[in-house]
Chains A and B, each alone.
Chain A
Amino acid sequence: AQSVTQLGSHVSVSEGALVLLRCNYSSSVPPYLFWYVQYPNQGLQLLLKYTTGATLVKGINGFEAEFKKSETSFHLTKPSAHMSDAAEYFCAVSEGRGNNRLAFGKGNQVVVIP
């Protein structure tokens, strides 16, 4: 079964600094990978996804993530943090086409310091 590891439940970053959220997965087949963002008292919104093709994927709000098969990783980055990036971020994995469920990591709560 697939699983997702996100280390560090809370991540603090200064405004204007790099945002880096780490995601490692385990999967027996080539994975499809997702990052979601959740603002307080709201549902999750898709930031970006990797299915096939280019391993560097760009998403909304200036975020991007790189799929590294050799490292089983899909880390999320943003060059310069903005106050509006304060939210919870979830990484998720699916084991290829036909599997209709996602496995989620426990999430990272991002705090942006002015």
Chain B
Amino acid sequence: DGGITQSPKYLFRKEGQNVTLSCEQNLNHDAMYWYRQDPGQGLRLIYYSQIVNDFQKGDIAEGYSVSREKKESFPLTVTSAQKNPTAFYLCASSNDASYYGYTFGSGTRLTVV
């Protein structure tokens, strides 16, 4: 079955360390997105990519980095510069989001210890 896979489900990081969250899709979607979710704040866009080897900053890109070397993959790195990284991270993909909406992964919960 086609879908979008995020791994790991839970991730613990020590302060000062970088960590990379994986997002893989086999839906043949061109566009991919990373969102951060905090209680009561809804979804906030971190980065998005419309095509391979191209990506744009979203509303809260500081302290994060991404790459898009393959159509299927859009990993997110949470760097030590991110002041408050503990959150639930959601990856999504789409072809023509305005008509079909997004397909979401099941999320990664990152906790800084």
Enumerate chain A interface residues (CB-CB to B < 8 A): 9, 32, 34, 36, 41-46, 49, 51, 90, 92, 94-102, 104-107
Any chain A CB within 8 A of the CB of B98? yes
Q: Which of A41, A101, A105, A107 contacts B97 (CB 8 A)?
A: A101
A97, B42: Cβ atoms under 8 Å? no
Interface stretch (choices B60-68, B70-78, B105-113)? B105-113
Q: Is the CB of A105 within 8 A of B42?
A: yes
Beyond the given A32-B98, A95-B98, A101-B97, please list 5 additional residue pairs across the A-B interface where CB-CB is below 8 A: A9-B40, A41-B109, A46-B101, A101-B48, A102-B98
Determine how close the nearest CB of chain B comes to the CB of A15; give it in whole angstroms. Answer: 25
**A41-B107 contact given A95-B98, A102-B97, CB 8 Å threshold:** yes
B99 pairs with A106, CB closer than 8 A: no
Which chain A residues lie closer than 8 Å to B7 at the CB level? none
> With an 8 A cutoff between CB atoms, is B43 at the interface?
yes
Docked-complex contact A100 and B50, CB < 8 angstroms: yes
A104 x B42 contact (CB < 8 A) = yes
Contact check, B104 vs A45: say whether CB atoms are below 8 A apart.
yes
B46 interface contact, C-beta 8 A: no
In the complex, residue of chain B having the shortest beta-carbon distance to the beta carbon of A52? B99
Q: Given A100-B50, A100-B96, A101-B48 in contact, is the A49-B40 Cβ separation under 8 Å?
A: no
One digit per residue, 1 when the CB lies within 8 angstroms of any chain A CB and 0 when it does not, for chain B 33-51 equals 1000000111101001010
Could you say which residues of chain A place their CB within 8 Å of the CB of B31? 100
The answer to whether B98 and A104 touch across the interface, beta carbons within 8 angstroms, is no
